[in-house]
Amino acid sequence: MSETLRGTLCPLVTPFQDGTVDQESLASLVDWLVENDIDGVVPCGTTGEFASLSASEWRTVTEVTIEATDGRVPVVAGVAGTNVQRVTEQLEFAAAAGADAALLPPPYFHTAPTPAGNLEFFRTIADSSPLPLVLYNIPACTGKPIAPETVTELATHESVVGLKDSSGDFDYFLELLRSTDDRFALFEGYDQHFVSGVHAGSDGGINALSNALPDVFASIRDAAFDGDTEAALEIEQSVLPELFGYCLDYGFATVAKAGLVSRGVIASGEVRPPLVPLPEEVKTDVADLLSEHR
């Protein structure tokens, strides 16, 4: 499976309209991303506001995404939970719906489990998982990073095929590149590290801004994988820094949705608490920045 997960994968926003999941906008978004050369989609991740979805909404978003891709690109379903049973149930549903793999963070709230605890959590799930698993390192939301030695050990498990790193710690990412083999796919989740990651040997990125800039990310990807690091960095550093800064300040879903509304892809930039809408002046700036780079 890991050999089919490569390039730019988009962690989808979940469009809302009047408080409910906007299935039509979600399907249109998926189709638009595939037409703009995205290599895969990831529903129900952080950018998809998974923690603000009900169980039935999570199922709906997963099913609509899989149906909309129609087998054109891989679907890596976001699954998450603080107990093995819930995650296992999500995996079984996603597999039955036709997902190709799943993105799994460590358990949160448990006061930052020890490396041994995280290892047991991941391994117990992997032992019975019906889908290949991509680990999700996002210490800002889970308390601690997944320890490198935990990743190295899990990388030998036949069901664990990769990792997305959203820590922003490039030294951590380099350590994993050194300690895992080519079978294990490594993706940068920090948008401004995409090119550096590919240059170091990564398999690509899973990046929130690819929702609104799939064409730009496709250009960055092509140049980076063709070995033209200078051209890839020029695009990356001329387009992403200001938008990425807004993402850090206001939330990835919030900025990505505002960008998608400005491009006419989804109907509403609505987000759910604890996220709040962008200030009007920032929304205008996001739209202006996007218009400059498409």
Q: Is 65 annotated as a binding residue?
A: no
Neighbouring CB atoms inside 10 A of 240's CB total 23
* Active site residues per annotation: 136, 164
Q: Which residue ranges make up each domain of the chain?
A: 2-292
Q: Rounded to two decimals, what is the model's pTM?
A: 0.96
Pairwise CA distance, residues 136 & 151, whole Å: 10
Pairwise CA distance, residues 13 & 103, whole Å: 15
CATH of domain 2-292: 3.20.20.70
Would you write out the chain's pLDDT as a tens digit for each of its 294 residues? 545 899 999 999 999 999 999 999 999 999 999 999 999 999 999 999 999 999 999 999 999 999 999 999 999 999 999 999 999 999 999 999 999 999 999 998 876 678 999 999 999 999 999 999 999 999 999 989 999 999 999 999 999 999 999 999 999 999 999 999 999 999 999 999 999 999 999 999 999 999 999 999 999 999 999 999 999 999 999 999 999 999 999 999 999 999 999 999 999 999 999 999 999 999 999 999 988 876
Nearest to 50 by CA among 253, 245, 208: 253
- With a CB cutoff of 8 Å and minimum separation 6, the contacts of 210 are 8, 9, 10, 11, 33, 38, 217
Residue 183 · residue 2 · CB < 8 Å? yes
The pLDDT, as a whole number, for residue 110 is 79
List pLDDT tens digits, range 18-48.
999 999 999 999 999 999 999 999 999 999 9
Q: Is 47 annotated as a binding residue?
A: yes
The pLDDT, as a whole number, for residue 1 is 54
